[in-house]
């Protein structure tokens, strides 16, 4: 089987982790500080705050903006459940918005309809590696939390995503664009906000008591992340090459290829196509041909919460299909994916 996702771990990655394990510190230390500075520098921002997961990063981002009980936070329904959990952690009320099924990103017009006087933030995922419509979303007023879990390295009008919002987060989970196994980071131009979050990340050895969290990243995870970050441009280049091949070979199939709006670069964390009928049967037929394809989202949040009125999300959930695309994909596996979809949909 061609797996849906596979991290690309090299000998250099292994050596970096081994050096960290043999060093003076295993927990948070110099490697974490270096990783924070390098990720911040990559995005043109101050050093970030490395944490144990992307969900922890979202939690701290909301706390950094002062979001709490009585506040509302807008998020898309067509997203994994992590943003919902983070909103619930701070006691705020999630307010779902629809997505544009052509881009899978937040529909700014629907977001505008969902804003109330209690709206304190908008969580904006750059879905599958394509930047959201930041110009319009920024103009709506509430602070943006850019969720770059799937989009580090993407650019919007020449600037890196993650550098537009009041605060941004990145995830380094095993399937993400670069990995530390588990992990995440909060980033912002506001150094005072980052200092507050750095204080909240570690709960011990404080003279003044406040609610804090054990959200630290380890040094050997950070060592892997630093090694991966050095290869990120090459990994994104490989993703772009595979995506270009898919586009050429599938141009005549009855599918919708990933959108490429002007002024935005796509980093293809996922290559999500729209199929003419339901996506789930197509995934099953591909599996019989040795290719693992998946629905990009396990279940929209509006279904989880028993809500309706999200037609763009419903369309995306029915027709969207994610096929294997990652730097560790071999040429043979790439050919199997191309021929498999051709056989299923020709």
**How are strands ordered across the β-sheet holding 72-76?**
49-51, 184-187, 167-171, 144-147, 119-125, 72-76, 93-97
What DSSP state is assigned to residue 151? T
**For residue 305, with 0-12 CB atoms within 10 Å meaning exposed, 13-18 middle and 19 or more buried, which class applies?**
exposed
Catalytic residues: 176
What is the C-alpha to C-alpha distance for residues 58 and 296, in angstroms, rounded to an integer? 20
At residue 127's C-alpha, the angle toward residues 324 and 243, to 5°, is 35
Q: Which of 18, 19, 47 is nearest to 33 (CA)?
A: 47
What is the C-alpha to C-alpha distance for residues 115 and 112, in angstroms, rounded to an integer? 6
Question: Is the separation of the CB atoms in 116 and 141 below 8 Å?
Answer: no
């Amino acid at each position: 089987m061609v797996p849906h996702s596979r991290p690309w771990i090299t000998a250099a990655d292994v050596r970096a982790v081994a050096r960290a394990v043999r060093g003076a510190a295993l927990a948070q230390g110099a490697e974490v500080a270096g990783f924070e500075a390098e990720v911040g520098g990559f995005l043109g921002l101050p050093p970030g705050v490395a944490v144990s997961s992307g969900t922890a990063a979202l939690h701290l981002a909301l706390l950094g903006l002062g979001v709490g009980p009585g506040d509302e936070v807008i998020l898309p329904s067509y997203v994994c459940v992590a943003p919902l959990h983070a909103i619930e952690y701070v006691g705020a009320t999630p307010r779902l918005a629809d997505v544009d099924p052509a881009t899978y990103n937040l529909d700014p017009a629907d977001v505008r309809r969902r804003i109330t006087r209690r709206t304190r933030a908008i969580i904006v995922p750059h879905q599958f590696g394509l930047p959201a419509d930041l110009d319009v979303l920024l103009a709506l007023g509430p602070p943006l939390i850019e969720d770059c879990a799937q989009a580090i390295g993407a650019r919007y009008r020449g600037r890196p995503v993650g550098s537009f919002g009041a605060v941004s987060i990145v995830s380094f989970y095993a399937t993400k664009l670069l990995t530390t196994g588990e992990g995440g980071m909060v980033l912002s131009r506001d150094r005072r906000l980052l200092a507050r979050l750095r204080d909240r990340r570690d709960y011990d050895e404080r003279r003044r008591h406040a609610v804090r969290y054990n959200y630290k990243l380890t040094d050997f995870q950070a060592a892997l992340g630093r090694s991966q970050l050095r290869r990120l441009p090459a990994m994104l280049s490989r993703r772009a090459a595979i995506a270009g091949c898919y586009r050429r070979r599938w141009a005549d199939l009855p599918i919708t290829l990933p959108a490429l709006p002007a002024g935005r670069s796509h980093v293809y964390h996922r290559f999500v196509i729209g199929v003419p009928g339901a996506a789930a049967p197509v995934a099953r037929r591909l599996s019989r041909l040795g290719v693992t394809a998946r629905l990009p989202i396990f279940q929209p949040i509006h279904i989880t919460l028993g809500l309706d009125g999200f037609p763009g999300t419903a369309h995306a959930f029915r027709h969207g299909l994610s096929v294997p695309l990652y730097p560790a994909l071999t040429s043979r596996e790439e050919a199997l994916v191309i021929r498999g979809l051709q056989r299923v949909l020709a």
